[in-house]
Structure 1
């Protein structure tokens, strides 16, 4: 197995072109063609690439996914990933840092791997930071088992815009103290296994209704407001010692002396605010440079890569014009500028590889261990029991409701309704779909709502006709509602007359089991909603 030279050796032995090559983190796709795999191998060899970021497939990468390209699922993606890591590492002159977005586990990118709860679910936990630490730890173990060194997580954006199309459920909530507490536990858990993290999306992507994959969001706030809120989690985690900060594609004129450019290519924001004012001396990584927030505005090959590097990014994620980017950086950057970024990145790489290569198989993706679904099940069960949130109503009202005759109603989303099945074991009731006629005597309704998607587009995937029928039930029947999804769904529902509303957050088996036990009065709901619900209906 190749060994990474110590920084003291590398700084003098690598020519500038190889140092610049280390700054590039192209996308690697798990379900690529052999032709594309060979192209990436040649790119790694020719340009001394420093790191890779893995995605499921070209169609699932965000700028493509939003275009509705077909995503072909592969149940063997994990094994494919591990073999690809081995190939790409073999092609590299110096060991690659392997990165992935695993905010809620490898399942974010890879089929048939453990999935852990979304950040919005973890944000509901009260005084259970050890569980979040364990989530970070278990995800890190899963990453190591696959040969991954760098989890580009967590999001520490404060999500205070219910219409945010891309952050939302990925945020720990709208309260800055809660975000800091939860994010720090996740980071510490990840670090305990020697896996790197990256807090994102600096300087804060929470308060916008624009998706930066598609366009450049504007954060129109004063610097004082930003320092007090959006920047607060970044400052606190920087003080705790984070591995890297990912800079988002956001127009924040208050931090850029009135300029409207993206934060990812702003010297004022990266050098001025992040480094000089906030004291961050570690690695800065750009958000994906293929995202339309910046790529559409800088079509010249190599231009965007240079602008991102010159602004202060040490790692250029998802750069698509690597030969031209290297050439432009070599042409325009000073030797000192290159050496400063090289030292930051190489020391990070050296530390990560030294930590993880005590077993050389891990570094090459040959580990003989696999992610442990059983451990994920146990952890998810604990989180389900402690995040469950009684938003309106009280336990006595639910207990009384359980003792009555009621009808179970579920929306048309086809996920298996284990919630109803488990309740049926203890009390028989009629189950119907939304839209089926209820008799006059079917006054009591247990409503199980499973939103088809976690993002807010198109009412979270719930047809408007179903939204209308749900609201009719809420207005005309006595309803106990269990929501197995993003709590922001409730902004579209008229819940003021409901006997009780319980937010379960996830539709995992463990969460449905906990919800059934709660309805039966066997457990209490101890979670607290981490975001505000504002009725819009």
Structure 2
């Protein structure tokens, strides 16, 4: 068993170990965190520790992108100059939009020879059938991607959805996150996909952030780095390219780049000490891709209204030269208003290539982009040599994911292969490891099981009895109540009367959707009832929503028991019921500071 005090060295070592360079053996690697603020120790399951002198590269993927390759050369020679430009482009595809959309995508594949697709909403079987059809229509095998930060279930029905990063940020065992990354990679491979636009390595140190929030692992840079690393290594160990985002750090902004251009006022001192830290560490460990954000950083590039995506000082000088990133540099979606508000289709793509990006993702218009890039080459703003170099890099990525031996997706047993018992077990362990207990006054947790004692369990924000209520009822006697959004006065009065006979109430707080929210979206009258219960009764509260929403309940500090579950995923609700009933213990820690009462690292 070896323990390493140097964090960066541990990260690099962990990467080496998981590449199969070392013989198998079981040990633990511990990473010490910065002293202020205190970060939690992270334990990895790894292999025997001995670094051979022959180890030169942290990851085979990065080296393969720059190594001479006969398959790459042969494919490249068959492409016209226009087709080499199109290989740099990834266009969107949906499996739930019908025949007209399908024909639009086929047109882009056949006429322009685009390099890849990014799939959004739909279903696994439908997507698999479409993928086979699109690949059959393509001159060069397509690089298939998805923006699946919490797995393919984030985008499609009939698939497993894993927890989002804030929940993962509460977990003390990062080997579970590595396991999740590997599971997601296996599901990607089964669906014929090759690249995931994840993990998010932004540090969410701004609670008002409208675009990152629960999509980040937390506010502590070393936690974000280690958890991002575990997720990335899990995916790439199974042959899926990970893409860290959103460079150089989207965590401290109050503007959503989907709708406008955020301005980040900080300079290099701040970025070096915080935002860039996880990017540096994940680059050292061999991440295959980096996505550049649409943000304006005037202290790094003073050009007016210039998104970082189009900035050469940021993309080439900082990311590629200074940080020595040799993987795929990918733009954030070119359809986002943070970009299109100031740059027209075509010119935006030219500037993105001038800045140093390799991959242009989700274009407004492929024909306009190709025409503008060709014109820029003729006017010597761009060179065909640079286009060719990037084209070969993308072809090398296709080779790494196995597209040189492309085979259609087998449809038989597809659903069963995407919903394995192993995946559900991973989700169970993640959920149980994340539950964060902030209060346990008078040892209210666990609830004692008594023959004649019934507990009132109130689901606030739910329209019907919840999975948490059902599972808790398997351990103790309960009577279930529901306080839905937009409840009427009569229903609230009736609920008050019914709850009066109970000295103790278990309250489950639910957000307005399956995804965590920045607000519970409860009316004042509903919040008043919750605050009244907290003030008058012995209450145990379980929050199935974003930790930041603790601030929406004024009397929340009066809760005798307080558990944060972060999401309303079914495994989380089941785990919470087990914790309340004393079947498991709480192990999670708050990954963010909510306010002066609930701070980063809190958790009993």
CA contact (8 A) 1:146 1:367 kept: no
Tell me which of 19, 31, 38 is aligned to 2:103: 38
Match of residue 497 from structure 1: 558
Higher RCO (Cα < 8 Å, 6 or more apart): 1
- The one-character-per-residue Cα deviations of 1:254-310 (angstroms, maximum 9, x if unpaired) are 2224654111111111012111211112111111111111112223x4122212222
Distance in 1 of aligned mates of 2:528 and 2:305: 41
Match of residue 15 from structure 1: 80
RMSD: 2.3
Match of residue 47 from structure 1: 112
Question: What is the TM-score with the length of structure 2 in the denominator?
Answer: 0.79
Distance in 2 of aligned mates of 1:395 and 1:17: 72
Distance in 1 of aligned mates of 2:427 and 2:443: 27
Match of residue 443 from structure 2: 396
Match of residue 282 from structure 2: 237
Q: CA deviation at 1:455?
A: 4.7
CA contact (8 A) 1:255 1:269 kept: yes
Distance in 2 of aligned mates of 1:289 and 1:493: 39
* Residues 376, 341 of structure 1: alpha-carbon distance in 2 compared, 3 angstrom cutoff: same
- The residue correspondences of 1:247-262 to structure 2 (distance < 5 A) are 247-257=292-302, 259-262=304-307
Structure 2 residues not aligned, in runs of 5+: 1-68, 377-381, 484-491, 599-604
1:512 is aligned to 2:558: no
* Residues 462, 5 of structure 1: alpha-carbon distance in 2 compared, 3 angstrom cutoff: farther
CA contact (8 A) 1:113 1:373 kept: no
Q: CA deviation at 1:216?
A: 1.2
CA contact (8 A) 2:296 2:308 kept: yes
Distance in 2 of aligned mates of 1:309 and 1:367: 41
Distance in 2 of aligned mates of 1:295 and 1:373: 42
Q: Which SS does the other structure have where 2:251 is aligned?
A: coil
1:339 is aligned to 2:384: no
- The one-character-per-residue Cα deviations of 1:195-218 (angstroms, maximum 9, x if unpaired) are 111001111111112111111112
Distance in 1 of aligned mates of 2:241 and 2:94: 21
Q: CA deviation at 1:536?
A: 11
- The one-character-per-residue Cα deviations of 1:354-410 (angstroms, maximum 9, x if unpaired) are 58x4xx43x556575431242221111111221111022358232367777642221
1:303 is aligned to 2:352: no
CA contact (8 A) 1:267 1:311 kept: yes
Runs of 4 or more, structure 1, over 6 Å off, are 400-404
Distance in 2 of aligned mates of 1:493 and 1:14: 61
* Residues 305, 401 of structure 1: alpha-carbon distance in 2 compared, 3 angstrom cutoff: same
Distance in 2 of aligned mates of 1:322 and 1:512: 45
Q: Which SS does the other structure have where 2:445 is aligned?
A: helix
Q: CA deviation at 1:430?
A: 3.1
* Residues 5, 291 of structure 1: alpha-carbon distance in 2 compared, 3 angstrom cutoff: farther
Q: CA deviation at 1:89?
A: 0.6
Q: CA deviation at 1:469?
A: 2.7
Moved more, 257-266 or 150-159: 257-266
CA contact (8 A) 1:137 1:192 kept: yes
Distance in 1 of aligned mates of 2:364 and 2:268: 33
CA contact (8 A) 1:148 1:365 kept: no
CA contact (8 A) 1:252 1:260 kept: no
Distance in 1 of aligned mates of 2:223 and 2:442: 26
Tell me which of 447, 452, 456 is aligned to 1:407: 456
* Residues 418, 160 of structure 1: alpha-carbon distance in 2 compared, 3 angstrom cutoff: same
* Residues 400, 414 of structure 1: alpha-carbon distance in 2 compared, 3 angstrom cutoff: closer
Match of residue 175 from structure 2: 130
* Residues 532, 401 of structure 1: alpha-carbon distance in 2 compared, 3 angstrom cutoff: farther
- The one-character-per-residue Cα deviations of 1:85-121 (angstroms, maximum 9, x if unpaired) are 1111111110000000111111111101011111111
1:443 is aligned to 2:443: no
Q: CA deviation at 1:426?
A: 3.7
Match of residue 183 from structure 1: 228
* Residues 394, 240 of structure 1: alpha-carbon distance in 2 compared, 3 angstrom cutoff: farther
- The residue correspondences of 1:23-422 to structure 2 (distance < 5 A) are 23-56=88-121, 77-126=123-172, 128-257=173-302, 259-299=304-344, 301-332=345-376, 333-354=382-403, 357=405, 360-361=406-407, 364=409, 369=414, 370-393=417-440, 396-399=443-446, 406-414=455-463, 416-422=465-471
* Residues 394, 313 of structure 1: alpha-carbon distance in 2 compared, 3 angstrom cutoff: farther
Aligned residues: 508
1:525 is aligned to 2:571: no
CA contact (8 A) 1:26 1:51 kept: yes
Match of residue 27 from structure 2: none
CA contact (8 A) 1:490 1:535 kept: no
CA contact (8 A) 2:516 2:567 kept: no
Q: CA deviation at 1:482?
A: 0.7
Distance in 1 of aligned mates of 2:516 and 2:311: 29
* Residues 367, 284 of structure 1: alpha-carbon distance in 2 compared, 3 angstrom cutoff: farther
Match of residue 534 from structure 2: 474
Tell me which of 481, 484, 492 is aligned to 1:432: 481
* Residues 262, 455 of structure 1: alpha-carbon distance in 2 compared, 3 angstrom cutoff: farther
